Structure 1
Amino acid sequence: YGIKEECGMSPNSHISETPDACFFFVDQFVVVDHTNHDVYILSVCDHASTSSTGRSDHVRSERSWLDETEAKLLNLKMMTNENDRKTQFVPLTLADYDEAFSMEKSRSEYLEDVKRCMAYINDGESYELCLTMQMKKKIKKLDALGLYLYLRAKNPAPYAAWLHFSDEDLFICSSSPERFLQLDRDGVLEAKPIKGTIARGSSRDKDDHQKWLLQN
């Protein structure tokens, strides 16, 4: 949504203080396969662009990182239990700070947007309407990772992420029930929006009936 301007569309009227898009180049990472309960440790090494001596040094460095990471993962359960005993995230409440959230728009402006959306729907000119509003609140000290773990515990969602953009001093704590888009290696594009859905049935047959209602 935020980078539609790159595709020739009109720019957003809202100017964000953070980048519209950020990309990670990840050459060392751990992959957790929740389906098969496997864990993979990967390191990317470009052998073609280095000399034999440099390549050998790089390989030793990568193997050292792989071994160290494996040892940390094998001891993760014990480390986690120790950390749980030492520290515990205490969620903040609105009472902790006098300053309330500041809204991007006033109530009257938001209601006016609702009326505009209803007019578009009535005219058949809407594909997807999503009225969102940004809220801001200054918090001097915040454990971003602790907040994310607390969010995951209280709102376990299938599409959750914690991102730290160190150059931007930006943290993203996301816990979403919907998938925007996924493109797999076979070229299959999948979307799992929460909009336009319907309640689950109490049985498989009722589920199939609900599915039929959505499709028709």
Structure 2
Amino acid sequence: MDQPSRSAGTVRPGGRTARVRAAVMDATQDALVEHGFHGLTMDQVAARAGVGKTTVYRRWGSRAGLVTDLMNELATQSMPHADTGDIEGDLMANALSVLRAINDGRLGATFQAMIAAATSDEQAARALRVFYERRIGEWAGTVDLAVKRGELPQGTDGGELIRAVSAPLYYRLVVTREPVTLEDAERSVARALVAARAGAFVMRDPGAP
């Protein structure tokens, strides 16, 4: 699944409100990377962003509000899904985007902090889930196109196939704490594609035995 093409906080046109939000998102990401979700505070973010505490409290309300907006921003910044005309190429593009993101010093640390927080905090888990639901939904479109081209069986669940590509990479990042390499990405795509072509991701009829 695709990951953000740049870190949050890039200033875009839109006046002072947009600049304040960009500064706060940038400060939130920095604080999250340095201190983790539970070490992040509203006052800390306001000071880093150079804005008044009242502004941060009024607009975001809580630590959860900050990280939820940050994850929304990262999802918005993500590139659209690939359309190479070939499902193997599309899935490889997805795997490479994951690889780049998790090996990026800032983005990788951001995701690790959010994943760690999600194991013990429902608000953090919700923010992370919304981010991945958006990205999985975007990349599932590549699978739908492949089904239409006849590359994959009818009824293939695009979201499940995209999860199958990225899951081994995240397992190495978060669980076994191993380096995640290009070879890992290629192997993940190859295995997921073999399974998909064999019908492993075809959605079952709820009424079927």
For the criterion TM > 0.5, the same-fold answer is: no
Higher-Rg member (1/2) = 1
> Which one has a larger percent strand, Structure 1 or Structure 2?
1
Shorter-normalised TM range: under 0.3
Q: Which has the higher contact order (CA 8 A, sep 6+)?
A: 2
TM-score (norm. length: structure 2): 0.24
> Which one has a larger percent helix, Structure 1 or Structure 2?
2
